[in-house]
Amino acid sequence: MRVRDPSFAVKAQLTRQVAHWSVAIARLGNLDDLASATAWNGLERYLGLSIRQHLTGVVERLKRQVAHMAAGLSAAASPADLENIHRQLLAFRKQYLRAETTLDFFADAINTRTSPTIAGLLKACDSLGYRSMTAILDPLGKATPVVLTYLDKGLGASILKAGVRLWDGAGENPVAAIKMVPQNLHRPTSLIHETGHQVAHITGWNQEMASAYENELEGAPAGVARVWAGWVSEIAADAFAFVHTGYASVAALHDVLAGDPGSVLRHIPGDPHPISYIRVLLGVEMCRQFYGAGAWDDLSLAWGLYYPLDLAPVRTAALLQASLPLLPKIVDLTLCRSMQAFGGRPLSDRIEPARVSPQALEGLERRLGPALYTSMHWIWTESLRLLALTGLRAATLPLQAAETYQRQESWMLRLGGALQAA
């Protein structure tokens, strides 16, 4: 019986596997197969190019790795050489799957642009998110990442921030990828909450604000200031949404958080999200400090009736009772305190909440009339205040919600290029 060369057998198996992965990479690199032409066309050109360039880079890195393995395999002259290729192959398989996860994420996100209407609304969200960030980053001389919004299930939005490492580990995310939920697509103030996370990440705002909380919440019982310092990332995002969209953001946040008493009054140590009960009341306090009395007072009253503190666990109730008197100071530290993150100025000075007060928004509507919703000039110029205005109408005139959302969709489709503007 003829004895076969073990090295020949090993090399044959490795050759077949390397060839397999080479073909797989070629298929992975066909980005037109990644998402439908309709979905790709639903992206603004600059956004599509940014994503394509990044994903092409991911695939090119895989190509270089497999080419390196193929060359090493061709030159292998000993069992040790083949064992080295085998180790490279095992590592490559893991890298390929991580890269595939990156491409799958973008494929799923882009493919949510399933129709001209959805594509138009999401393109409008891309624009709103981008503009909310440029309003503060441009004056600071910092680059604003492009925004990719997409639809997924759930109650709230989320963000995969630009600049973070993706699953493949080889490159940074080129876009701020923001998940929107279908039921909030017509009042997307949560979008601005998520861009607030991105701005805080770029400017270092969270760290600065956490220090301010720990050092300046005077009179708070032991440990309370530290708890609030652990919540700054979500508070910063809420504040960013507030300065851009006013009461609309507070009402929308209320509706996301308004669950059963157990969830609203639950404290999870280490969770960056504040207890829902106090988080809503902090938004109410922002409105009171900048706008005085208003619809938020009724929201606060109903909130307290639905979620009395005696339903909370004893320790949580004590934390909340200790926190209530601190809310004015926390609003002051968050919105009115000068921060190096904002060039030594307060957030409320960089983006004035008064611009989206109910009085200012109603004045804008009276002054411009129907043109505010139909003129591309005004839609482009005032898109963020339009978001605040229609959100305010939805919050304060619920019986007219269908009309409000129809108007919202109309101007958003114009902003997203799916309707011809006047």
* pTM (two decimals): 0.92
Of residues 305, 298, 173, the one with CA closest to residue 247:
298
Question: Distance between CA 394 and CA 404 in Å, rounded?
Answer: 6
Question: Distance between CA 36 and CA 46 in Å, rounded?
Answer: 18
422 residues of the chain, pLDDT tens digit each:
455 678 888 888 999 999 999 999 998 888 888 888 888 988 988 899 999 999 999 999 999 999 999 999 888 889 898 999 999 999 999 999 999 999 999 999 999 998 999 999 999 999 999 999 999 999 999 999 999 999 999 888 999 999 999 998 878 899 999 999 998 898 899 999 999 999 999 999 999 999 999 999 977 888 999 999 999 999 999 999 999 999 999 999 999 999 999 999 999 999 999 999 999 999 999 999 999 999 999 999 999 999 999 999 999 999 999 999 999 999 999 999 999 999 999 999 999 999 999 999 999 999 999 999 999 999 999 999 999 999 999 999 999 999 999 999 999 999 998 766 54
342 is written with which tokens?
Answer: 């904002």
Question: Distance between CA 414 and CA 173 in Å, rounded?
Answer: 29
Question: Distance between CA 157 and CA 173 in Å, rounded?
Answer: 18
How much of the chain is in helix, strand and coil states, percent to nearest 5?
Answer: 70, 5, 25
280 is written with which tokens?
Answer: 């809503």
Question: Distance between CA 176 and CA 200 in Å, rounded?
Answer: 13
* Neighbouring C-beta atoms of residue 132, cutoff 10 Å: 29
334 is written with which tokens?
Answer: 């968050």
Of residues 180, 178, 59, 44, the one with CA closest to residue 120:
44
Give, for 180, the enclosing helix (H) or strand (E).
Answer: strand 175-180
Q: φ, ψ for residue 178 (rounded to 5)?
A: -120, 120
Q: Which stretches does DSSP call E strand in 187-305?
A: none
Spatial CB neighbours of 314, under 8 Å, sequence gap ≥ 6: none
Q: What is the largest CA-CA distance in the chain?
A: 97
